[in-house]
Structure 1
Amino acid sequence: MTVLFISDLHLRPNHPEITACFYHFLRKEATKSTALYVLGDLFEVWIGDDDDEPLHNEVAAAFNTLKDEGVPVYFIHGNRDLMLGKRFAKASGMTLLPEVKIIDLFGQPTLIMHGDTLCVQDVGYQRYRKKVHNRFLQYIFLSLPLFLRKKIGRKIRRESMQVNTHKSGNIMDVDLKEVVRMMKANKVTQLIHGHTHRPNIHTFTVGTKVAQRIVLGDWYTQGSILSCTKDGCSLEVRTFSPTQSLQSP
């Protein structure tokens, strides 16, 4: 039995090598697992379930095929696809989870999340996050014409990239005190998250107990997965290959 975790794929049409690796992963590996968890930022940007981008329909079909193979897919929103909704979830056959979720991972209670809420030192981002998670503002945005939302989405992405180039890496990383606080509050000693693009397995203490924080990697230059069995978890990479097909499963 194997449970798989991925995050931060940032799928977009102009990077087919990422999509091809993702489809290959679904066909060759995910079908052999017992569950797949996607911990946010599956897409580079999400402006609404009514977006007519063909890639979105292809990804939904790929997930649906996996579900039909008997593998459940669970999704936690990231900061890039926070408005991914029930319409896409239904089309893809995946289950939407709350932003903080405790799962039983081979007998060990494990906290899973995207991870952006742990970066409390990035005050500017946390202010921005609070605004974009406002349900009323989301309603107004989703009520706008699709072409206008696409334009706004591109503008926000450009501005975000410019701002991040001037931030230190430490500010954009998680705050250990916040990590410990979250783990204590949820009474767990294992945490899995993405967002920071710094894949690693950290061991530390929470109170008097040994704890583990597993950080998922991004898919910018290679595929990145976390594979967990009853014997433990391992971070693994998958090389982008020109022989991988863009055809969805």
Structure 2
Amino acid sequence: MLTYFIADLHLTQEREDITDCFLSFLRNEAPKAEKLYILGDFFEFWVGDDDDDKFVLDIAAQLKVLSANGTDLFFIVGNRDFLLGKKYAKKAGMTLLPDIQVIDLYGTKAVIMHGDSLCTNDLEYMKFRKKSRSWWWQTIVRCLPLSTRKNMARKYRAKVAMRPENHKPQEIMDVTPIEVVKTLEQYNSQLMIHGHTHRPDVHQLSANGKDAQRIVLGDWYEQGSYLKVTENGFELLNQTFE
């Protein structure tokens, strides 16, 4: 038995190398797994499930093939694609999960999530996150014309691109350690898997008075990155761009 976890692909038409790497992963690796978990920021941005762009529809079709062939697909939204909903998930053959989900991973109780909610020192983002996840804000945005939403997304991406990568200190951009422990203890778990920070690693810590682990998934900006989990353990693996 085999399970894969991926996050932070930031799929967009402008990055054909990332898309090609992901589609190769879907063809060659993903069919081996009984489950594939996508932990957010799968797309660079998401303007709504009514987006009729060929790119996003093609991605859904490829995911649907994987699902139809026996791999269960699960999706947790990230900070870029939090508007992705049930309509698109159905097209892609995916099951939407809440922001934080507890799963049985071959006998180990694991907490899985995108990871942005752990970055509590980033007060500016946490304020935006609270607003953007509210039902009223999302209702207003979804009522805007599709063209308006796409234009808003383009402007936001341009604004973000102008910022230097180190515009915020590392301790703000990374997770807050006490929040990690708090979350593990809330769900009585010793294992957490998340993305968001783009810092792939395996961290050892203590929670619930016992040893615990936090596995961070890598992004796909320079190479494919995924976590492989079997009954015998786990590996953080990379896939080079062709």
TM-score exceeds 0.5: yes
Which segments of 5 or more consecutive residues in structure 2 lack a partner in the other structure? Answer: none
Residue of structure 1 in register with 2:170 after alignment: 169
Instruction: State how far apart, in whole Å, the 1-side matches of 2:122 and 2:199 are.
Output: 16
Please give the residue correspondences for 1:104-123 in structure 2 after superposition, counting only pairs within 5 Å.
Answer: 104-123=104-123
Residue of structure 2 in register with 1:89 after alignment: 89
Letter in 1 for 2:108: Q
Letter in 1 for 2:113: M
Residue of structure 1 in register with 2:6 after alignment: 6
Instruction: State how far apart, in whole Å, the 1-side matches of 2:160 and 2:119 are.
Output: 16
Letter in 2 for 1:199: P
Kindly state the Cα deviation for residue 134 of structure 1 after the two structures are TM-superposed. Answer: 1.4
TM-score (norm 1): 0.94
Kindly state the Cα deviation for residue 165 of structure 1 after the two structures are TM-superposed. Answer: 4.3
Which segments of 5 or more consecutive residues in structure 1 lack a partner in the other structure? Answer: 242-249
Instruction: State how far apart, in whole Å, the 1-side matches of 2:12 and 2:198 are.
Output: 17
Residue of structure 2 in register with 1:247 after alignment: none
Residue of structure 2 in register with 1:188 after alignment: 189
Q: Percent identity over the alignment?
A: 48
Residue of structure 1 in register with 2:203 after alignment: 202
Distance change in 2, residues 1:164/1:136 (3 Å): farther
Letter in 2 for 1:239: T
CA contact (8 A) 2:40 2:195 kept: yes
**Structure 1 position 26 matched with structure 2 position 26:** yes
Kindly state the Cα deviation for residue 82 of structure 1 after the two structures are TM-superposed. Answer: 0.1
Instruction: State how far apart, in whole Å, the 2-side matches of 1:66 and 1:151 are.
Output: 32
Kindly state the Cα deviation for residue 163 of structure 1 after the two structures are TM-superposed. Answer: 7.7
Residue of structure 1 in register with 2:224 after alignment: 223
Letter in 2 for 1:232: G
**Structure 1 position 144 matched with structure 2 position 155:** no
**What's the Cα RMSD here?**
1.1
Letter in 2 for 1:152: M
**Structure 1 position 236 matched with structure 2 position 240:** no
Instruction: State how far apart, in whole Å, the 2-side matches of 1:235 and 1:38 are.
Output: 15
Length, aligned pairs only: 241
Kindly state the Cα deviation for residue 157 of structure 1 after the two structures are TM-superposed. Answer: 2.5
TM-score (norm 2): 0.97
Q: Greater CA deviation, 3-12 or 142-151?
A: 142-151
Instruction: State how far apart, in whole Å, the 2-side matches of 1:207 and 1:45 are.
Output: 37
Instruction: State how far apart, in whole Å, the 2-side matches of 1:90 and 1:209 are.
Output: 39
3-state SS of 1:45 partner? coil
Residue of structure 1 in register with 2:73 after alignment: 73
Instruction: State how far apart, in whole Å, the 2-side matches of 1:158 and 1:124 are.
Output: 19
Kindly state the Cα deviation for residue 219 of structure 1 after the two structures are TM-superposed. Answer: 0.2
Q: Greater CA deviation, 227-236 or 161-170?
A: 161-170
Instruction: State how far apart, in whole Å, the 1-side matches of 2:124 and 2:181 are.
Output: 22
Residue of structure 2 in register with 1:51 after alignment: 51
Instruction: State how far apart, in whole Å, the 2-side matches of 1:211 and 1:114 are.
Output: 18
Q: Deviations over 1:3-39 (max 9, x none)?
A: 0000000000011010011011011010011100000
Residue of structure 2 in register with 1:39 after alignment: 39
Letter in 2 for 1:26: L
